[in-house]
């Protein structure tokens, strides 16, 4: 019988995979990688505010991640140059968060746990947030799936079909902020974007439909979470980075097999 902390860690990784798989496909399709990075980096500022005002870490990270995501989404809608704007916002929020934590009185914080995750320390309460957040993300994506796909394909086509691209962008923004809030305990702020992008990129070469790509990305993310946990326990490596390494290996294999298929 596995130890309870291993069961909790595995469930946390699977919960994150359920949300990150399909959402990561939209991140890849819409080329929102830096958008996800900026939202994740802002989560550290949320941790600092949560500690300073004695509220839950989940509430603090969700609030700040949501504020960052809405800010970026609004600026994108107004035609701002996104690469520079996202770079400024992402790194500024991360720096402000790291500095702010040092001013929180009487609190000793292991920053590595928030930067790179601490999945082995996940509690049953944390699991309820992770799985609850994953369920909300999946429900939102299922509810707006057709509209999201249409807006992703072409905003002009979406408007002609009666779909509001701004509304679909807002759905993705809310989902992204929620995933950041639940994932910070699992893989940390610096690696959240990788768990969104890498499994989806690995699935892209083998899926023939958007639904198949979302399902395959979820399966790859889940396998990476379990393989990363096994590697962490076997080789005494950090769990969060090990999960991302496992996903990167899956992407490498996918790219190699995809190249072999094309050459054949």
pLDDT at 250: 95
Return the SS3 of 161.
Answer: coil
199 pLDDT above the threshold of 80: yes
Distance CA 148, CA 173 (A): 12
Q: Do residues 68 and 85 make contact, with C-beta atoms less than 8 angstroms apart? A: no
pLDDT for the residue 249: 96
Q: What is the pLDDT of residue 264?
A: 54
Residue showing tokens 């393989």: 227
Give the distance, in angstroms, between the CA of residue 112 and the centroid of all CA atoms in the same chain: 18
| Helix (H), strand (E) at residue 50 | helix 33-52
Yes or no: say if 130 and 182 are a contact pair by the CB < 8 Å rule: yes
Q: What is the pLDDT of residue 241?
A: 94
pLDDT digits (tens, 9 = 90+) for 150-194: 999 998 889 998 999 888 988 998 899 999 999 998 999 989 999
> How does pLDDT run across 106-138, given as a tens digit for each residue?
666 777 888 899 999 999 999 999 999 999 999
CA dist 186 and 179 (Å) reads 11
Query: Domains of the chain by range and CATH?
Result: 4-190 (1.10.3470.10)
Instruction: Using alpha carbons only, give the angle 248, 76, 189 rounded to the nearest 5 degrees.
Output: 35
Residue-wise pLDDT for 52-89, tens only, equals 888 888 999 999 988 888 887 777 667 676 677 778 88
> Under a CB-based contact definition with an 8 Å cutoff, are residues 202 and 220 in contact?
yes
pTM metric for this prediction: 0.92
Residue 116 contacts residue 190 (beta carbons within 8 Å) = yes
Q: What does the radius of gyration of the chain's CA atoms come to, in whole angstroms?
A: 18
Residue 262 pLDDT class (50, 70, 90 cuts): low
Return d(Cα 18, Cα 130) in angstroms, integer: 10
The yes-or-no verdict on residue 2 having pLDDT over 80 is: no
- Mean confidence (pLDDT) of the chain: 89
Phi, psi of 218, rounded to the nearest 5 degrees: -65, -45
Is residue 98's pLDDT more than 70? yes
Q: What pLDDT, on the 0 to 100 scale, is given for residue 136?
A: 95
Residue with tokens 């909790």: 8
- Give the pLDDT confidence of 24-40 residue by residue, as tens digits: 999 999 988 878 888 88
Cα 232 → chain centroid? 20
More confident position, 213 or 100: 213
Please report the pLDDT score of residue 1 as a whole number: 65
pLDDT at 261: 60
CB 226, CB 10: distance < 8 Å: yes
What is the tens place of the pLDDT at every residue in 211-233?
Answer: 999 999 999 999 999 999 999 99
Residue-level pLDDT at 79: 67
């Amino acid at each position: 019988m596995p130890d309870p902390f291993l069961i909790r860690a595995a469930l946390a990784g699977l919960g994150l995979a359920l949300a990150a798989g399909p959402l990561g496909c939209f991140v890849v399709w819409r080329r929102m990688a830096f958008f996800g990075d900026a939202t994740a980096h802002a989560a550290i500022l949320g941790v600092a505010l949560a500690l300073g005002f004695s509220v839950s870490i989940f509430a603090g990270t969700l609030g700040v991640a949501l504020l960052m995501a809405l800010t970026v989404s609004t600026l994108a809608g107004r035609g701002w140059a996104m690469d520079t704007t996202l770079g400024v916002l992402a790194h500024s929020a991360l720096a402000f968060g790291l500095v702010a934590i040092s001013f929180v009185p009487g609190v000793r914080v292991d920053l590595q746990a928030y930067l790179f995750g601490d999945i082995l320390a996940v509690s049953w309460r944390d699991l309820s947030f992770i799985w609850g957040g994953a369920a909300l993300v999946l429900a939102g994506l299922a509810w707006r799936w057709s509209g999201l796909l249409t807006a992703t394909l072409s905003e002009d086509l979406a408007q002609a079909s009666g779909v509001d691209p701004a509304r679909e962008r807002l759905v993705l923004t809310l989902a992204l902020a929620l995933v950041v809030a639940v994932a910070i305990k699992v893989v940390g702020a610096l690696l959240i974007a990788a768990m969104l992008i890498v499994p989806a990129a690995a699935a892209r070469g083998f899926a023939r439909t958007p639904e198949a790509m979302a399902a395959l990305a979820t399966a790859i993310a889940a396998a990476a979470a379990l393989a990363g946990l096994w590697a962490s326990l076997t080789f005494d490596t950090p769990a969060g980075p090990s999960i991302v390494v496992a996903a990167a290996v899956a992407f490498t294999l996918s790219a190699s097999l995809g190249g072999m298929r094309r050459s054949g």
